[in-house]
Amino acid sequence: MDEVRNPFVPGAGSAPPELAGRDKIIHESDIALQRVLLGKHSRSQIMLGLRGTGKTVLLNKIERLAESYGYVTSFIEAPDDKSFAELIYPRIFQVLRKLSLVENAKEQVHKAWRALRSFASVFKVSMGDLSISVDPEAGTADSGILEYDVVDLFIRIGEVAQAAGTGWALFIDEVQYLKEKELSALIVAIHRVNQKNLPIIFFGAGLPQVAALSGNAKSYAERLFNYPTVGALDRKAAIAAISEPILEEEEEISNQALDKIFSETEGYPYFLQEWGFQSWNAANSSPINIDDVEKAGPAALRRLDEGFFRVRFDRLTPKEREYVLAMAKLGTGSYRSSEVADVLEEKPQSLAPCRANIIHKGMIYSQSYGDIDFTVPMFDDYLRRVFPEYFA
């Protein structure tokens, strides 16, 4: 098979050739975007799922939808080493630059510039060549309390967008990396602009614990957002994700080969792309058959082991690696923290800091007290495959 024409694109955030199984999320996002522009309330969304399930792909898809309706959009990937003030300032700067060209919005833009100048001053945000040549607005976005000041800032941006006859769509990936005060500030700001019926909508994506983190930050968050789950694809959607791109290239794949790929990947989108990519390259001719998929298996696993899995494992300290190996020794999750402690022959309390660090690194998550699981699908299989001596 011609490798140049290989339709599959395994990669972080890369849009697959066939975005299968996500129609409901996309449709609801589409409706929400249109309603907000009409001045009708609609809930913002935070998509929840494990690594490799396509959350970033969906955010990118929804951002393109927003742009098609005329929204000004801002996309942020929340790292674990920058403050929310540092992340949001340049995005709002860009939004105001774009909307400053709209004649009807010039007065509101000037007010927003002043609020942004206040915000930058009080939080000591410095962005190189990004400078604002207006005086700060006393009493707006200058309290030094993030929750109050982000609200002021969002209201000003909402007023600008409303005057310009458009909306602002904010996208944040990896929401779990926001600190509790930052997440709280974001939630309160979205709540307040909703109350004032301003054309701002938020779409986020994060690991499964984000729903609980949001609830801890503000109890009303569960009523403010929709939390669609982005998980493994069912058999029908998974087969479509593999077969449709192949058919579009005027090639074929056997039903047995499709069943084998689904079995190997358990329907996880990133894994589907990797197995599809390697199976195409392994086939000498169309149709791709089960022998091609079996031949592709080692290459697919090697790519996943060296990239998708290993980069995450390498972030862990030796003590943290022992902890996740102990989890995998218990079998397939979820796991009780007390059971992991038993494997390591330590008290659960003494392991609490280690567990907290692994959660912070996004390697494991806890949705209920004492329960933990991997954020990476099939990570326990990877550990058993790469460290067989530990499981002997």
For 329, left (φ over 0), alpha (ψ -120 to 50), or beta? Answer: alpha
Q: What is the pLDDT of residue 392?
A: 78
Round to whole Å and give the CA distance between 227 and 208. 10
One domain, residues 129 and 202: yes
Residue 144 lies in domain: 23-226
CB 347 within 8 A of CB 357: no
One domain, residues 128 and 32: yes
Strand order through the sheet with 225-226? 72-77, 168-173, 200-206, 44-48, 225-226
For 51, left (φ over 0), alpha (ψ -120 to 50), or beta? Answer: beta
Q: Which tokens in the block code for residue 94?
A: 């860009």
What SS3 state is found at 373?
Answer: strand
Residue 12: inside a domain, yes or no?
no
Sequence-ordered list of residues with C-beta below 8 angstroms from that of 273, at least 6 positions apart, any chain = 8, 9, 10, 11, 14, 16, 241
Q: What is the pLDDT of residue 216?
A: 81
One domain, residues 251 and 216: no
Residue 282: inside a domain, yes or no?
yes
One domain, residues 281 and 350: no
Sequence-ordered list of residues with C-beta below 8 angstroms from that of 172, at least 6 positions apart, any chain = 75, 76, 77, 78, 178, 186, 202, 203, 204, 205
Determine the residue type at 56: T
Residue 182: inside a domain, yes or no?
yes
**Domain end position, chosen among 226, 247, 264:** 226
Beta strand ranges found along the chain (DSSP E): 44-48, 72-77, 168-173, 200-206, 225-226, 335-336, 364-365, 371-374
One domain, residues 38 and 87: yes
Alpha carbon 256 to chain centroid, angstroms: 33
Residue 177: inside a domain, yes or no?
yes
Listed as ranges, residues in the chain with pLDDT below 50 are none
One domain, residues 93 and 178: yes
Determine the residue type at 297: G
Q: What is the pLDDT of residue 135?
A: 79
One domain, residues 282 and 370: no
CATH number of the domain where residue 248 is located: 1.10.8
Residue 5: inside a domain, yes or no?
no
Q: What is the pLDDT of residue 82?
A: 84
Sequence-ordered list of residues with C-beta below 8 angstroms from that of 52, at least 6 positions apart, any chain = 268, 269, 270, 271, 308, 376, 377
Q: Please name which of 173, 83, 80, 84 lies closest in space to residue 361, comparing C-alpha atoms.
A: 80
One domain, residues 213 and 134: yes
Round to whole Å and give the CA distance between 200 and 358. 34
Round to whole Å and give the CA distance between 133 and 173. 31
Q: What is the pLDDT of residue 130?
A: 58
One domain, residues 28 and 124: yes
Q: Which tokens in the block code for residue 363?
A: 């390697």
Q: What is the pLDDT of residue 31?
A: 97
**Domain end position, chosen among 226, 260, 276:** 226
Pairing between strand 371-374 and 335-336? Answer: antiparallel
Number of domains in the chain: 3
CB 194 within 8 A of CB 224: yes
Q: Please name which of 89, 94, 161, 81 lies closest in space to residue 121, comparing C-alpha atoms.
A: 89
CATH number of the domain where residue 355 is located: 1.10.10.10
One domain, residues 134 and 64: yes
CATH number of the domain where residue 203 is located: 3.40.50.300
Residue 330: inside a domain, yes or no?
yes
One domain, residues 324 and 193: no
Diameter of the chain measured on Cα atoms: 71
Radius of gyration of the chain (CA): 23
Q: What is the pLDDT of residue 129?
A: 56
Angle at 86 between CA 30 and CA 150, to 5 degrees: 65
Helix (H) or strand (E) holding 29: helix 23-37
One domain, residues 204 and 280: no
For 168, left (φ over 0), alpha (ψ -120 to 50), or beta? Answer: beta
**Domain end position, chosen among 226, 245, 269:** 226
Instruction: Give strand pairing partners of 47.
Output: 205
